[in-house]
Amino acid sequence: MDGSSSAADPGPEPLELTEGSPRPSDTERELAELRARAYGPEADIEADPAAMARLAELEAAHLSAVTAERAGGSTVVAPVPAAASVEPTRDTRPAGVRRPSRRAGVVIGATVLVGALAAAGWNLVPRPDATLQQIAVEANSDIIRVLSAQGRGPVPSTLRRFEPYHDVRVWSVEDHAGKVCFIVWDLAESGRFSIKCAPPGTAVALTLSVAREADEFGRWLPDGSNVDFRFREDTVDVFVRAPAD
């Protein structure tokens, strides 16, 4: 002790190379940088959710590696129950290892919140009422003749057919301009036909609405309902929307 006042906590020390030590990996350097942003005197990670999530990922991986190493050295690491309140009666940490700051707790809590919100968002994604898979294409399909008569220039070798939804038949086919055309056709009494062409990889949806005064389409649904056919690369998702209030 030289009597001088102690300096402010500078935060976690950066990884340093000593003679004979291995050079830190990119992951170790990234973890050190994120720790500095989370626990250092100029911490700013709270404003960067992506960095917080990445820190949580790397910390979990680091903890797993340390646990495995200790297990290999016959040191048993007992799990702590989630509901337990751990408060050591004395500081048993090795010298140089600091107690996590309040900021660290905020970062961890925020990371957990981000994960919870992501899980909640996943549960809020609407699930299709039906998913139509590809099936064998009928030889000399009438749909090729219909599209040719309309001047749409379908390429027969690219025709794909999907499972029917009630009386609605569903296809996709490329045209000579390189676009992919999606077709739904109600072969029951209504004869509803809808087609939309778009560049490959474009999300396309077609909607057939239930209108009792017009025809018998969707007779199994309430009047005013909508049936959305959303095309993906190899499947078609069907969503039924109830009438608007």
Q: What percent of the chain has pLDDT over 90?
A: 29
Please indicate, yes or no, whether residues 121 and 177 belong to a single structural domain of this protein. Answer: no
Per-residue pLDDT, 107: 54
Please indicate, yes or no, whether residues 117 and 153 belong to a single structural domain of this protein. Answer: no
Q: What confidence tier does 94 reach under pLDDT thresholds 50, 70, 90?
A: low
Name the 3-class secondary structure at 228: strand
Question: For 202-230, what is each residue's pLDDT tens digit?
Answer: 888 999 999 988 888 888 899 999 999 99
Please indicate, yes or no, whether residues 43 and 112 belong to a single structural domain of this protein. Answer: yes
- Whether 170 is in a domain gets the answer yes
Q: How many domains does the chain have?
A: 2
Q: Are 104 and 39 in contact (CB under 8 A)?
A: yes
Can you tell me the mean pLDDT for 86-104?
51
Please indicate, yes or no, whether residues 186 and 161 belong to a single structural domain of this protein. Answer: yes
Q: Are 208 and 216 in contact (CB under 8 A)?
A: no
Q: Are 204 and 198 in contact (CB under 8 A)?
A: yes
Edge-first strand listing for the sheet containing 130-135: 193-198, 180-186, 168-174, 160-165, 130-135, 235-241, 226-231, 204-209
Please indicate, yes or no, whether residues 134 and 51 belong to a single structural domain of this protein. Answer: no
Position 123 pLDDT exceeds 60: no
Q: Are 14 and 42 in contact (CB under 8 A)?
A: no
Please indicate, yes or no, whether residues 228 and 178 belong to a single structural domain of this protein. Answer: yes
pTM of the model: 0.49
Please indicate, yes or no, whether residues 55 and 27 belong to a single structural domain of this protein. Answer: yes
Pick from 11-20, 33-42, 53-62, 217-226: least confident: 11-20
Per-residue pLDDT, 74: 47
Position 58 pLDDT exceeds 80: yes
Please indicate, yes or no, whether residues 116 and 178 belong to a single structural domain of this protein. Answer: no
Question: For 136-156, what is each residue's pLDDT tens digit?
Answer: 988 778 889 888 888 889 999
Name the 3-class secondary structure at 161: strand
Of 125, 158, 188, at which residue does a domain stop?
125
Q: Mean of the per-residue pLDDT values for the chain?
A: 75
Name the 3-class secondary structure at 226: strand
Please indicate, yes or no, whether residues 134 and 177 belong to a single structural domain of this protein. Answer: yes
Q: Would you tell me how many other CB atoms lie within 10 Å of the CB of residue 29?
A: 13
Question: For 180-201, what is each residue's pLDDT tens digit?
Answer: 999 999 988 788 889 999 998 8
CA distance 11 to 7: 11
Q: Are 181 and 147 in contact (CB under 8 A)?
A: yes
CA distance 52 to 152: 51
**Tokens 């569903």 belong to which residue?**
170
Please indicate, yes or no, whether residues 136 and 228 belong to a single structural domain of this protein. Answer: yes
Position 232 pLDDT exceeds 50: yes
Name the residue range of residue 191's domain.
130-241
**Strand pairing of 235-241 and 160-165?**
unpaired
Please indicate, yes or no, whether residues 32 and 70 belong to a single structural domain of this protein. Answer: yes
